[in-house]
Structure 1
C-alpha cells in the first residue's frame, strides 16, 4: 500500500489532480464575513450560469440541510494509523463540523488471496468512526493481484478481469457493514489512467457498477445509497476521459437504476471555484454541464455528491495556494453547492497534511498541518458547519 493523507501518503498520490494550463489568477475582491472567514467575490457571468443573482459567494452564510452535510475524504490511510492518531483524526473530524467520513474498503487488502478475507483493519476504522457518530461513505475499490488485467498486473487500481468477482466483494462488504455503512461509492476516478489501468473503459466500469449495485442492494440495509465513482477533473487526452463525456457515455452503456447519486471531484485550484475566467480548466465551473447531462437522461431528481474537493498549501509555484486562499476556496465551494437543490454531501480533501514537504503538492491538502495544528481552512469549514 502506498501512503496517504493521514500521516501516510494516500493511494491517490501519484495521480495529478488534472491536466491544466496555468494562467494568471484573476483579481478578486475579498469580503470578510462572520467568524473571521474571508471569502471571494464571484464573477457575475458564472454566477448567472449557476443561478446565483448576486456576485457574493456567502449570501450571509447558506445553512446546511440534512441533504448537504459536510464530510472529510480520508482515502486509505486510516487503517495504518496508531490507535491514538486514529482517535485524534476522527475527533478533529467531528469537532470540525464534518459529520461524514469517506474512506476505502479495499478489495486488494481484504481479499489479497482469493476466497480468504481479512477485515480486521477496516473493522477498526469503521467501529471507531461510528463510535463518534460519524456517517460513513465506504469506497469499494482496488483490485487484488489475482483479479487484475494482464496489462496492469502491477497496478492496484487495475480494472478487474472479472466484474462478477468485484460485485461479490462489494456484496460481502455491504453485508458485513449493513448496520454501520449506509452509503457506498463504487470505485474512485475511473475516468483517468491512474485509477483505471490499463486505460479507462466506460463499458467495463458500467458492468462493475451494475454488479456492485445488485450485490450491495441485496446485502445492505434497506435504503442504502449507491454513488457513482467520483470523477477526476480530467480533460480528454492521454487515455483520460473528461467527466461530462464519461458520464454521458455511462448513461448509454449502463442502467441508471444502478446508482442513486453521481460522484464528482470538482477541484479548481489554483483558481477559486467560481472564477469564470478559468472555466476550461476549472472542474467546479463545469458542474452545470454535468448536472445538465443528468437531467437529459431523466436523472434530474438525483443529487451530485462532491466526494473530494480541496486545495494544496504546498507544491510548485503553479500549484500551491495560500492558507487564506484554501479557506476562501472551500467556503465558496460549500456555499455554492448549498445554494442549489441538486447537491448532496460535500467531502473536503483532506483533514491532515500527508507530510511536511512544502514542495510536494500531495503533502499539503490538509485542513490541519501534519502536526495536527489547524490552518485557516479548518476554521472556515467549522464556520460553514455552524451556518444557521
Structure 2
C-alpha cells in the first residue's frame, strides 16, 4: 500500500527550513501531487491544516479523511484549478487523507498527517519521566543508510519534530571516531555540535552516549585496544562533557555492554570508572549513567561482576533497557532493584533508556524506496506501537523509573531491514506512535504520579495530579487517570462530578457524563485513554520514589583505579570469568591516578584460594599517570569446582579505591571427577510440548535413547521448530550444568540452534526465558551442547527451571532433528 504512495501520489515533505524530499520514482502527471509546510505532516492546533498542490488541479477530485480508528472525519471536493486543500475542524489526532479523481475508480493510497498541541502553548517540565530516544546525530544524518527520501536539512527537521513531541529530554549518540578526535587533544565535533545547538534552541536537554573508539589510526592518545586505554577514555569523556556542557546534561558510557562479547566485565568496569572521572572533570554537574544493561534477566551475572568491581561509585543514575511486554516489566524492575539493593545502591535514580515494540515481527509493508530493504509497519503494527508508547512509559515509571525513553524517533530498521523501530516512516511521514507520544506528554508531561488505581480485573489505571506549571496553570490541582485494558470492556467509575473530559490515545477530546448519578461508565481497551478533571481520588498503592541525598565521594577520592590485566594463559569466557590457567600464571596489576597530585600507597591481595607473588610493599603513581606491576598467580594443582575470586584492593591516603575482581573457573571436564551425572527425564512423549510453525511430530526410540522431532513446512513460511521439555519442579536443584547431544537428519542443511531455559509452565508463556550465551549449529553430526550454570550466572536459578526449549530454524521444508543423553551435573557429596 505505501509503496504505491511513492509512485502514485508523491506526498512530498516540505518544511520551512528544508527543501522538498527527493523522490526517486517517476510521477504520473495526471496524479494529484500534494505538499505541506509541516515537518512529517505534523500540524498544530494554532495553524490551519492545508495541503498545497504543486500545480493547479487538472480536474475535480473528491477527498476524505479518516482517523486512526477508521472513522470518517471530513470529506469534500477539490475543484479543477484549485491550488490547495484545506481541512477544517479536526480534533487532535492521527489522520489519513485519501483523494480520488472524477475519472478514477479507486481512492489513492492514504497520506498520513497529524494534529497535535502547539509547543507554544506548553510549558516543558524538565523532570518529566516521558522521553524519547532520537539517536538523531546518527539516524537523521543526510542520506543515512542510502535513503533518498529525507529532507534537505534532516537535523533541523528532526529537531522540530522532537519539539512537537513535547518531550523535555532526548537520547542521542556521539561518535568517538578519527573524524571527531583526529589527533591527541584535537576535537572536531561537526554535526554533533549542530544537533546539540538545534535541540538547545528548542529547550530540549540531551542524554548522550558514545560506544565507539578510533581503531584505524591509533596514536599516542589511544591504542588499538580502544576501551582498554583508560587514559584515552578519560580524555575523550572530559572533552565531550566540557564541549556540550549545559546542553548534554547526562552522559551514558557505552551502549549494551552485555551484548559486546569482546570485553569482560572487569575490564568494562575499569573503563566505566575512567569515563565517569573524565565526564566529571569536564562538567562536575553532569549526570553520569552506567553502560546500559540490555537484558537484566540474562545478564545478571555480568551486572553483579561489574558491581563487585566497584562500578556502583562510578555512576549517578543506573540505566537499563527492556523490550519485554509490559506485563513482564514488574519482574524486570523487581529483579534489577533487588540486585542493586544487595549492593546498597537502591536509592540511586534509575532510568530505562530504551524500550519499544519488539514482538510484532517483520514489517508488513514493503520498502517505500525502490531498491531499499527497509520494510515499514503495517496498520496493525503501527497501532500496536502507538499503544506500546503509553503502556511502557507509564508502567515503567510507575515501577520506579524516573525517566523512560521510547526507541526510536526517526526511521530505523534492524534484522536486514525487516524490523522497523521508528516513530516516523522512511519517507519522513508521521506514524500513530509519534502522535501517541505527543499526546502522552500533553496529558501527563507536567503531572506527578500518585499511584495505581483499582478499576477491576484486567484493567491498568494510574492516577496523576496535575502540577499546573507555567502555561499549564489551568489544570493545576486536578487529577488525571490513564487507563487501558488487556481486552475491550466497559468499566464503571464511582465519582460525584457532573462532567469529565475523556481523551483518546491520539488526543481527541470528548465530554463524559455520568450514566447515572455518581456513576460513570466508559469503554476501555489496549489503547490507553485519559480521564481529566478529577479530584479527591486516592491511589490503591501510593507511588513512593525515595531517593537518598547522601554525600557522594568526591572525584578526587575516586580518582585511583585498579585493573588486573591477565596474561596469555588465561582465557576470558562469556564476559564473566576467566578459565583456570596453568600455574603459575602471569598477570599485571595496573594503578591509574587521574588526580592532579602524585600518590603513594599499597596494593593488597584480598582474595583466597591462590597465591599472589611479586607485589611490592609500597608504590607511587605520578599525577595523571599509571604504573604496571608484573605479578604471578599460583593456583592449586586440583582445580576447585567453584570459582576462585582473584581480588585486589589498594590503600592510598585520601582515596577510596574500588577493588578489582576476576572469577577464575575451571572448565567442566577439568572437575568432572568432582561431579555426579543425573539424567533429565525426557523419554516420554507426554513430557514434551509441540512448538513449531510447521506440522510437527515427536518420536521416542527407547533402544537408542533418542527423541526425534520430524516436521514439515509449507512454502513461504517462517520455518522454526522449538519443542519444549517439561522439567518437574526442583529437578535441577543444585545443578552445576546440563548437557545434551543434538543431530539433524542425514544430509540436512546446517542451521542455527537455540536454547531457552524458563520458569514458565507453558511454551507460549516463554518471554522471560533465560538464553545462556551458547550458540551452536545443528548439522547431521552428533555434537554435545553444555550449559555451565557456573559460568552463566542468571537471574533464574537452576531449581526454578520448568521448561527446556531447544530447537532451530531449518532451511528446508522437510526436516528432523534428534536429541539424546539429556543430563545434568551436581557436586558429589563426600
- Decide: shared fold, TM above 0.5: yes
Would you say 1:337 and 2:384 are equivalent positions?
Answer: no
**Residue deviations 1:202-254 (CA, integer Å, cap 9, x gap):** 1111111111111111220x43100111222377xxxxxx3322221111012
Residue 19 of structure 1 is matched in structure 2 by none
Instruction: Look up the SS of the partner of 2:387 in the other structure.
Output: helix
Residue 228 of structure 2 is matched in structure 1 by 161
Query: CA shift at 1:141, angstroms?
Result: 2.6
- Residue from 315, 323, 326 that aligns with 2:382: 323
- Residue from 120, 144, 168 that aligns with 2:190: 120
Q: Against the structure 1 CA distance between its residues 95 and 203, is the aligned structure 2 distance closer, same or farther, given a 3 Å change threshold?
A: same
Q: Against the structure 1 CA distance between its residues 83 and 72, is the aligned structure 2 distance closer, same or farther, given a 3 Å change threshold?
A: farther
Residue 286 of structure 2 is matched in structure 1 by 224
Instruction: Give the Cα–Cα distance (whole angstroms) in 2 for the partners of residues 91 and 211 of structure 1.
Output: 35
Instruction: Look up the SS of the partner of 2:402 in the other structure.
Output: strand
For CA contacts below 8 A with separation 6 or more, give which structure has more relative contact order: 1
Instruction: Give the Cα–Cα distance (whole angstroms) in 2 for the partners of residues 139 and 187 of structure 1.
Output: 6
Residue 214 of structure 2 is matched in structure 1 by 144
Query: CA shift at 1:284, angstroms?
Result: 7.2
Query: CA shift at 1:344, angstroms?
Result: 2.0
RMSD value, Cα:
3.2
Would you say 1:103 and 2:172 are equivalent positions?
Answer: yes
Instruction: Give the Cα–Cα distance (whole angstroms) in 1 for the partners of residues 271 and 192 of structure 2.
Output: 22
Instruction: Look up the SS of the partner of 1:351 in the other structure.
Output: coil
Query: CA shift at 1:316, angstroms?
Result: 6.6
Residue 133 of structure 2 is matched in structure 1 by 72
- Give the TM-score of the pair, scaled to structure 1: 0.68
Instruction: Look up the SS of the partner of 1:346 in the other structure.
Output: strand
Residue 307 of structure 2 is matched in structure 1 by 251
Contact 1:261/1:304, CA 8 A, preserved across alignment: yes
Structure 2 segments unaligned to the other structure (5+ residues): 1-20, 22-91, 95-124, 143-150, 365-375, 445-830
Q: Residues 172-251 of structure 1: matches in 2 within 5 Å? A: 172-193=239-260, 199-220=262-283, 222-233=284-295, 242-251=298-307
Contact 1:192/1:200, CA 8 A, preserved across alignment: no
Residue 29 of structure 1 is matched in structure 2 by none
Instruction: Look up the SS of the partner of 1:387 in the other structure.
Output: helix
Q: Against the structure 1 CA distance between its residues 361 and 349, is the aligned structure 2 distance closer, same or farther, given a 3 Å change threshold?
A: farther
- Give the TM-score of the pair, scaled to structure 2: 0.33
Query: CA shift at 1:360, angstroms?
Result: 2.2
Between 65-74 and 344-353, report the one with greater CA deviation: 65-74
Q: Against the structure 1 CA distance between its residues 159 and 299, is the aligned structure 2 distance closer, same or farther, given a 3 Å change threshold?
A: same
Largest Rg, 1 or 2: 2
- Residue from 433, 438, 443 that aligns with 1:382: 438
Query: CA shift at 1:78, angstroms?
Result: 5.3
Q: Against the structure 1 CA distance between its residues 311 and 79, is the aligned structure 2 distance closer, same or farther, given a 3 Å change threshold?
A: closer
Instruction: Give the Cα–Cα distance (whole angstroms) in 2 for the partners of residues 141 and 304 of structure 1.
Output: 20
Contact 1:191/1:234, CA 8 A, preserved across alignment: no
Structure (1 or 2) with the greater helix fraction: 1
Q: Against the structure 1 CA distance between its residues 192 and 359, is the aligned structure 2 distance closer, same or farther, given a 3 Å change threshold?
A: closer
Instruction: Look up the SS of the partner of 1:182 in the other structure.
Output: strand
Instruction: Look up the SS of the partner of 2:408 in the other structure.
Output: coil
Would you say 1:133 and 2:180 are equivalent positions?
Answer: no
Q: Against the structure 1 CA distance between its residues 172 and 83, is the aligned structure 2 distance closer, same or farther, given a 3 Å change threshold?
A: farther
Instruction: Look up the SS of the partner of 1:160 in the other structure.
Output: helix
Residue 261 of structure 1 is matched in structure 2 by 317
Between 286-295 and 164-173, report the one with greater CA deviation: 286-295
Residue 525 of structure 2 is matched in structure 1 by none
Structure 1 segments unaligned to the other structure (5+ residues): 1-6, 8-34, 38-63, 236-241, 277-282
Would you say 1:366 and 2:422 are equivalent positions?
Answer: yes
Residue 349 of structure 1 is matched in structure 2 by 407
Contact 1:243/1:290, CA 8 A, preserved across alignment: no
Instruction: Give the Cα–Cα distance (whole angstroms) in 1 for the partners of residues 312 and 276 of structure 2.
Output: 11
Residue 53 of structure 2 is matched in structure 1 by none
Query: CA shift at 1:73, angstroms?
Result: 3.5
Instruction: Give the Cα–Cα distance (whole angstroms) in 2 for the partners of residues 179 and 374 of structure 1.
Output: 30
Instruction: Give the Cα–Cα distance (whole angstroms) in 1 for the partners of residues 321 and 334 of structure 2.
Output: 14
Instruction: Look up the SS of the partner of 2:425 in the other structure.
Output: coil
Instruction: Look up the SS of the partner of 2:443 in the other structure.
Output: coil
Instruction: Look up the SS of the partner of 1:371 in the other structure.
Output: coil
Contact 1:71/1:100, CA 8 A, preserved across alignment: yes
Structure (1 or 2) with the greater strand fraction: 2
Contact 1:314/1:360, CA 8 A, preserved across alignment: no
**Residue deviations 1:55-94 (CA, integer Å, cap 9, x gap):** xxxxxxxxx9925232324164157337621111111112
Instruction: Give the Cα–Cα distance (whole angstroms) in 2 for the partners of residues 175 and 374 of structure 1.
Output: 35
**Residue deviations 1:303-330 (CA, integer Å, cap 9, x gap):** 221111112666278x977112112222
- Extract structure 1 runs of 4+ deviating beyond 3 A: 112-116
Instruction: Give the Cα–Cα distance (whole angstroms) in 1 for the partners of residues 321 and 409 of structure 2.
Output: 16
Instruction: Give the Cα–Cα distance (whole angstroms) in 1 for the partners of residues 307 and 213 of structure 2.
Output: 24
